[in-house]
């Protein structure tokens, strides 16, 4: 009887660890998708962006206006 | 009857809150780097940096590119509404917004990015200079994979916070892996504890 309960506990333990490992991997994968460090796949993308910059067809974003502080003489 | 008029001081004319317009950077003013053209343009092209009025005070660390093909999603709305905040909190580093046609052209050429836009691509200019190696440095925030607007805003804020806090770090790629990807044992604990990112 003892052996059966130990076996059941072990099985549940293994399943729990596997579930934690799976969840950890899934969440990390999601984070890597979200915050992606530039890698070999992105080299061509950056090169295209550089080309656009050199052609002058990319415009730098500038806010339309900003409130200055009170000017005093 | 004597009139007791006192002349108004001329100085008051210039007082008060004024609306100051900033000149929009012209495409022609882009200052292309005169560094050597390279044998391997894909790997060794130096970053092309536009000269901004703030560049003297705060040398640009990053170059930002927003790739937004025009999906009408929550994340797209969030980033369009907060562009100004991003630029201001990043010391006005060069920020380039691709037009829809330019974004679509990029996505057509690189289909693995489809569905991930709007993408905020951050190029680490300092990283390439500091290490002197031939690889690009930087990272991108694939905001398009977020569905809920409040989560998109939270992720965007986390990203901007991260860039601002670590903008002086020598190897920011490594910090991205540690802090954002939650690598390592400590990161595993953080993930399992359920940080804000884990709710995605």
pLDDT at B31: 39
> Residue A69 domain-assigned?
no
Nearest CA in chain B to A44: B42
Closest of A61, A25, A54 to residue B94, by C-alpha: A61
The residue extents of the domains of chain B are: 60-170
What's the predicted TM-score (pTM) here? 0.66
Chain B CB contacts of A51 below 8 Å? none
Chain B CB contacts of A73 below 8 Å? 11, 14-15
This complex has an ipTM of: 0.71
> Residue A51 domain-assigned?
yes
> Residue A73 domain-assigned?
no
> Residue A67 domain-assigned?
no
Which of A36, A41, A60 has the CB atom closest to B96's CB atom? A60
> Residue A71 domain-assigned?
no
> Residue A66 domain-assigned?
no
Nearest CA in chain A to B34: A54
Q: What is the pLDDT of residues A4-17, one digit of tens each?
A: 888 999 999 999 99
Q: Take residue A7 and report the two structure tokens written for it.
A: 């076996």
How many other C-beta atoms can be found within 10 angstroms of the C-beta atom of residue A24? 17
**Run means of pLDDT, 10 residues per run, chain B, 200 residues:** 47 43 40 38 48 54 87 86 81 85 90 87 73 67 86 86 82 74 69 57
The Cβ-side half-sphere exposure at A14, using a 13 Å CA radius, reads 6
Q: How many domains does chain A have?
A: 1
Distance CA B103, CA B118 (A): 9
Classify domain B60-170 at the CATH topology level: Glutaredoxin (3.40.30)
> Residue A21 domain-assigned?
yes
């Amino acid at each position: 009887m003892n052996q059966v309960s130990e076996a059941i506990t072990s099985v549940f333990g293994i399943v729990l660890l596997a579930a934690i490992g799976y969840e950890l991997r899934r969440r990390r994968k999601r984070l890597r998708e979200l915050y992606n460090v530039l890698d070999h796949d992105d080299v061509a993308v950056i090169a295209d962006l550089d080309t656009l910059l050199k052609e002058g067809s990319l415009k730098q974003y500038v806010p339309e206006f900003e409130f200055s502080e009170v000017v005093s003489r | 009857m004597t009139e007791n008029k006192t002349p108004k001081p001329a100085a008051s004319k210039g007082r008060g809150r004024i609306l100051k317009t900033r000149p929009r950077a012209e495409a022609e003013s882009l200052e292309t780097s005169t560094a050597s053209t390279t044998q391997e343009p894909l790997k060794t092209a130096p970053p092309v940096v536009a000269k901004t009025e703030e560049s003297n005070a705060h040398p640009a660390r990053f170059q930002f590119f927003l790739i937004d093909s025009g999906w009408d999603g929550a994340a797209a709305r969030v980033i369009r509404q907060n562009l100004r905040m991003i630029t201001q909190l990043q010391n006005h580093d060069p920020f380039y917004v691709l037009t829809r046609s330019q974004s679509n052209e990029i996505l057509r050429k690189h289909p693995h990015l489809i569905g991930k836009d709007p993408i905020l691509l951050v190029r680490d200019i300092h990283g390439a200079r500091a290490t002197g190696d031939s690889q690009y440095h930087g990272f991108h925030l694939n905001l398009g994979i977020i569905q809920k607007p409040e989560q998109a805003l939270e992720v965007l804020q986390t990203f901007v916070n991260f860039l601002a806090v670590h903008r002086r770090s020598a190897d920011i790629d490594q910090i991205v892996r540690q802090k954002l990807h939650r690598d390592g044992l400590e990161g595993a604990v953080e993930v399992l504890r359920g940080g804000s990112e884990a709710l995605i």
